Amino acid sequence: MQSEKLWTKDFLGTCFSSLFLFLTFYMLMTTLPVYVIDGL
């Protein structure tokens, strides 16, 4: 029985896109309160 590869191109693309989405959301959520408090 031949096993399938886990780290396929589609899997890596999904992982990296999820990582960048999380990083973008995290950066937005950490800087937005500072902007709201100082800017408004």
Domain ranges of the chain: 10-40
**What is the distance of C-alpha 12 from the center of its chain?**
13
Q: Is the pLDDT of residue 39 over 80?
A: no
Enter the tokens of residue 26: 């995290």
Q: What is the pLDDT averaged over residues 35-40?
A: 80
Q: Which residue has the higher pLDDT, 13 or 38?
A: 13
pLDDT band at 33 (very low <50, low <70, confident <90, very high): confident
pTM exceeding 0.75: no
Q: What local confidence, expressed as pLDDT, does residue 23 receive?
A: 97
DSSP 1-40: -PPPPSS-HHHHHHHHHHHHHHHHHHHHHHHHHHHHHHH-
Q: How does pLDDT run across 15-32, given as a tens digit for each residue? A: 999 999 999 999 999 988
